[in-house]
Structure formats: structure tokens, C-alpha cells
Amino acid sequence: MKIPELLAPAGTMEKLKIAVHYGADAVYLGGEQFGLRAMAGNFCVNEMQNALELCKRNGVRAYLTINSFPSDHQLAALERYLRQVAALPFDAYIVADPGVLRMVRRISPEREIHLSTQANTTNHESALFWQDLGISRINLAREMTLEDIRATTGAVTIPCEVFVHGALCIAYSGRCLLSSALTGRSANQGACTQPCRWRYSLQEESRPGVYLPIEEDHNGTFIFNSKDLCLLEHLPELITAGVGALKIEGRMKGVHYLAGVLRVYRAALNAYAKDPSRYQADPAWLEELTTVSNRGYTTGFLFGDPRDVGQSYHAGYQRSHQLAGVVEQIHQNGTATVAVRNRFTRGDQLELIGPAMKHHPFICGNLLLQEPGNDGVAVEVVHPNQRITIAVPASAAPLDLIRRADADALSSHHPEVTGVKH
């Protein structure tokens, strides 16, 4: 049984390094134009070259997202951009628009092309259409059930890719017009303002200006607010259905999210590969997914219409832990240089996490600042953007993360994934 590729987001160079460290087989990243995450860090052309060199050294494939829907007046800029990146050895481009596909074929005829989920491929006839046009991989629409996926993978000879984890738009496969209509910023050109996450109320026609909240609780009702996708417990079904790649959403998310999600799915796929017949989802994996930011989890359309179980009635993300810092360097005396990301203090209960589900709780000891003029000064509390020296567990390695339980986060959630299974 072939194990699917584990495909991770890389919104910045730091996130790319985290993705490689935590077990991604491949990454997808965007340039400064024509991707669908205009507000992510993204990469200039020079940074892309460095990113590709890092990927090559580690045997990780890299795909460039060019999956926006350009208008006619943007085509000249698109052509200039495609010529700029043409010499870079990306393993594939990810596109959605037929016009973009046609232009890529003209400028980089040798380039492998993957079809984005924004192309809304919902059936095997559509998949065959794209296969006939020379597409090398298809990211199937999130609306497809497991039965639909199985039928499509059986009809085509190219790999099919599915999203397995991350945020869902109310327009599941991404062709959403809410942001354009309400703010003038197009989600289909990478500038989504996420109006599906806003709080809404009703206005009765004869009472203009009187807004009537539709309340489920004191937070109000977020009628467009989808829970996050989580298919961790159903990896065996997806693998036996013939899925070739499993994709994690999140170029806009932080490194804690990326590391936490990646290490779980990497552990799950490794466990399945070792002994498919005895594979079981480890409850610790689901517990780990509650430590990173999420809106609650759903299986989406995998087993049919999700109905109300796919809705979240809270605007904000939930998480049980907060990133404290990123390990940058290990010293011979058992200490490490750590880049601080959130405030913590001497005596705090911390956790070191890393690949292969590495997890070591420890008590924060002496905190020594690394600053010009104050190098080695002991402090009781540290703040974001500082660099410190701290004693760490012996297993620590560069790019491991240090985190702590977040007392201010919502703590009532539990590792449950809602959905309809037939």
C-alpha cells in the first residue's frame, strides 16, 4: 500500500523550516503575486531560490501556488511573474484558472502542474477532463464524499489530493464572494477579509436601523462560521480509497499550529505504514490537535452533508497551549538559545515538543537575556522578540518548540470530531 504524500503549508521561510523539521514530504508556498494568501509572509524570487535549496537538501518537494483568478488587466503582470520564476526548479505549480494554465504551458512547457481545489473538481468526469489536459495531480473539492473520492481515484491515472486538516471557508472549495461583496477585497485574488467569521444580526424591513441578534448564547451566532476540518481518524479510508496526497491548510497560521498538526499526521502515517492491519488512531494524537488553534473539528462532507455539526458558534479560535519560544541553538552545557514568542516567567511549567511526538515537560529555570550590553543578565520574565538562554531537556534540538498551557484560552473543549458517518 502506497502511503500518501504529506503536504504542508509554508507561508514564510521559518514555517518552511518547521515543515521540513516536523516531517512534511512536500510543501506549498506562494510568491508575492497570484497566490490566494496575499497577507501571508510569502516569498520574493530570491527567497524562493533559498527555499528550494533547503527543500532539495532535505528531500522535500516544493510547489508554487499560482491559483488566483486574474482579471484581464492583470495578465501582463502574470506573464512577467511567470517569466521571473520560470528558471526556478519547483516540482510543480498549483493553478486553478484555465487561462493561467494556458500561459504556464506557453512559458514553462516542461513544468508539472497540479490543479488547485479552487477549480472545484467534484466528480470523476471533471477529473478526467483535467487529466486529458495534462494536469499531473488534482486537489479534489472539499465537498466530495469518501464514495466520490473513491470513484474519482478509480477513474483517473494521476494522483488525487485531498485536504485533511485546517480551516474551512463557508464556500468550501474557495470560490467565495462574501469578501468581495462586503469589503471590495477579493478572496479569489488572495485578499479575503474573512467575513464568514463576523458576527451577524437581522434587520426587519419596517424597522431600518434596528438590528436583531440571532442568539445561541452570549457570543451571538456566527452563521457562516465553519468548524475546522480534521480527518485524522479516517486516514485508513482515504489511503485505501487511493488518495495520493494529504494536504494541510494553513499558510496564515503560526509555527505552533504547523508543528503540532504536522507531527500528529506524520506519526499517524508512519504508524499505518508500519502495520496497516493493526492501525488505530492514538487518542494522544487527537489530544495534541486541541493544543493548537482550532474552531472545533468536523469531518466536513466526507460522510455526507455535515448539516449543523459543521457550524461553530464561537468567533475565536480555541487552543489549550501557547507557543513560548523556538529553540535556535543547543549548547554543550545543556542550555539552548531560544527565540521568545510569548511572555513566560521563571518557574513556569513548560513543554518541549518536537518531531516523532517528542514531548518533555520541564520547569523553567534561570532565564538569561542575550542582548547587546546585557548579555547573560538573569531576569524573572521574558517577552516576545527577546532571545534567551535557558536549560532544556536533553532531547532538545534546533526548531523544537517550547510551549505552556494557556490559562486564558478556552479550556472546555475536548478532542471530538463531529460529522455524519453513513
- Average pLDDT value for residue range 103-123: 95
Per-residue confidence (pLDDT) for residue 171, from 0 to 100: 65
Convert the pLDDT of each residue in 341-369 to its tens digit. Answer: 999 999 999 999 999 999 999 999 999 99
Q: Tell me which of 40 and 400 has the higher pLDDT.
A: 400
Say yes or no to pLDDT of 88 above 80. yes
DSSP-assigned letter for residue 309: G
In sequence order, what are the residues at sequence separation of 6 or more whose Cβ sits closer than 8 angstroms to the Cβ of residue 48? 29, 31, 64, 85, 88, 90
Say yes or no to pLDDT of 322 above 80. yes
Say yes or no to pLDDT of 173 above 70. no
* Average pLDDT taken over every residue of the chain: 88
Say yes or no to pLDDT of 312 above 80. no
- Average pLDDT value for residue range 77-91: 96
Per-residue confidence (pLDDT) for residue 413, from 0 to 100: 45
Asked if 124 and 151 count as a contact pair (C-beta separation under 8 A), the reply is: yes
Per-residue confidence (pLDDT) for residue 256, from 0 to 100: 96
The three cell numbers locating residue 325: 519560544
Q: In whole angstroms, give the CA distance from residue 98 to residue 66.
A: 12
Q: Tell me which of 180 and 266 has the higher pLDDT.
A: 266
Long-range CB contact pairs, 412-415, < 8 A, 24+: 413/290, 413/296, 413/318, 413/320, 414/290, 415/283, 415/286, 415/287, 415/289, 415/290
Per-residue confidence (pLDDT) for residue 191, from 0 to 100: 72
Of 192, 183, 158, 168, which Cα lies nearest the Cα of 69? 192
Q: How much is the pTM?
A: 0.86
3-state secondary structure of 288: helix
Q: Tell me which of 24 and 46 has the higher pLDDT.
A: 24
Per-residue confidence (pLDDT) for residue 206, from 0 to 100: 83
Convert the pLDDT of each residue in 363-419 to its tens digit. Answer: 999 999 998 877 789 999 999 999 999 999 999 999 999 999 986 654 444 556 665
Q: Tell me which of 226 and 136 has the higher pLDDT.
A: 136
Lowest-pLDDT choice from 43-47, 258-262, 323-327: 43-47
Q: Tell me which of 310 and 121 has the higher pLDDT.
A: 121
- Average pLDDT value for residue range 136-148: 94
Q: In whole angstroms, give the CA distance from residue 46 to residue 142.
A: 33
3-state secondary structure of 317: coil
pLDDT band at 7 (very low <50, low <70, confident <90, very high): very high
Asked if 360 and 393 count as a contact pair (C-beta separation under 8 A), the reply is: yes
The rounded percent of the chain whose pLDDT value lies above 90 is: 67
Q: In whole angstroms, give the CA distance from residue 251 to residue 362.
A: 30
- Average pLDDT value for residue range 87-115: 97
Q: What angle do the packed helices 75-85 and 98-107 form, to 10 degrees?
A: 40
Per-residue confidence (pLDDT) for residue 204, from 0 to 100: 75
Task: Give all domains of the chain, ordered by start, each with its CATH number.
Answer: 5-174+225-308 (3.20.20.70), 321-405 (2.40.30.10)
Q: Tell me which of 188 and 146 has the higher pLDDT.
A: 146
Q: What residues pair up with 213 in beta bridges, in sequence order?
A: 201
The three cell numbers locating residue 263: 507531527
Q: In whole angstroms, give the CA distance from residue 195 to residue 236.
A: 35
3-state SS of 86-155?
CCCCCCEEEECCHHHHHHHHHHCCCCCEEECHHHCCCCHHHHHHHHHCCCCEEECCCCCCHHHHHHHHHH
DSSP assignment of 50-67 equals HHHHHHHHTT-EEEEEE-
Using alpha carbons, list the distances in angstroms from residue 351 to 1, 19, 188, 359.
36, 20, 39, 7
Convert the pLDDT of each residue in 204-263 to its tens digit. Answer: 778 888 776 665 555 555 566 778 999 999 999 999 999 999 999 987 889 999 999 999
Q: In whole angstroms, give the CA distance from residue 406 to residue 141.
A: 35
Strands 378-379 and 367-369: antiparallel
Of 334, 328, 321, 319, which Cα lies nearest the Cα of 412? 319
Radius of gyration of the chain (CA): 22
